[in-house]
Amino acid sequence: MSSRSATATLVALGVGAAGESATASARALPVRGELAEILPWGGLRRGSTVSVRGSTSLLLTLVAEATAEGCWAAVVGLPRCGALAAAELGVAVHRLALVPRPGRDQGEVERTVAALLDGFDLVSVAAPVAPAAARKLSARARHRKAVLLPFGIGWPGADVELRAAFSRWTGLGEGHGLLTGRTVTVRASGRGAAARERTAVLSLPGVPARGGASLPAPDPAREQSWRPTATGERVLQPVSAEAG
């Protein structure tokens, strides 16, 4: 099946399930209590763009409550994001669509994300896009009353940026034992109601490796920046690997 056909199928699936999340259409989508306290709307406001940086687990935790209440989510451009790890972080995986490789062409990435915004409540994108495309996708999210979640990349005009600033793993004894969980410091900043930075400490379960399906242990946080291409167009490109 082609990338375009697969995207059309996912969008049809999301649109067909729209009735399940109709009750949430007039309010912010729910998030865990710790995150609700640092988001200016007490949740994920429909039509907003919320950038997430520093941790894949933070991204999945952010969408978990909404999917549990009937919303549909899609994650684009994260090939190492697995359904098992998402489930362990509370995501209702039967309402989660994964598009690990949306295409190497930026136009195809933009079309894929735009189409998903038509049918899904929350759409995360980690693939490089040009600044003009980023602004168009944020505008489309506002029009469609969806939540756009750029991941690991700077995003012009994002309403809020959530950054996982520090992780502490627990479970190890005197140099031995199993990792059972961790705490992550999350900082929220942005514009308007989010102009004042807020901080929360988020407790996450340990995510052990199981056949390569789960998320990796944390690496140094990946940063992405605007970089010129050979044609002079600036795109978002990764600098290093993203944390777990």
Task: Read off the pLDDT of each residue in 175-203 and give the average, rounded to a whole number.
Answer: 82
Measured CA distances, 80 to 48, 84, 151 (Å): 26, 11, 13
What's the pLDDT at 26? 52
- Alpha-carbon distance of 72 to 14, in angstroms, equals 6
How is the chain split into domains, by residue range? 1-244
pLDDT tens per residue across span 96-105: 999 999 987 8
Pairing of strands 147-150, 122-125: parallel
Is pLDDT above 90 for 132?
Answer: yes
Element (H, E) at 97: strand 96-99
pTM (whole model) above 0.85: no
What's the pLDDT at 176? 58
- Alpha-carbon distance of 94 to 15, in angstroms, equals 14
Q: 2 Cβ partners below 8 Å, 6+ apart?
A: none
Is pLDDT above 60 for 183?
Answer: yes
Rounded to the nearest integer, the mean pLDDT of the chain is 78
- Is the distance from CB of 230 to CB of 203 less than 8 angstroms? no
- Alpha-carbon distance of 123 to 25, in angstroms, equals 16
pLDDT tens per residue across span 42-89: 999 999 999 999 999 999 999 999 999 999 999 999 998 989 999 999
Task: Read off the pLDDT of each residue in 145-162 and give the average, rounded to a whole number.
Answer: 94
Q: Which fold has domain 1-244?
A: Rossmann fold (3.40.50)
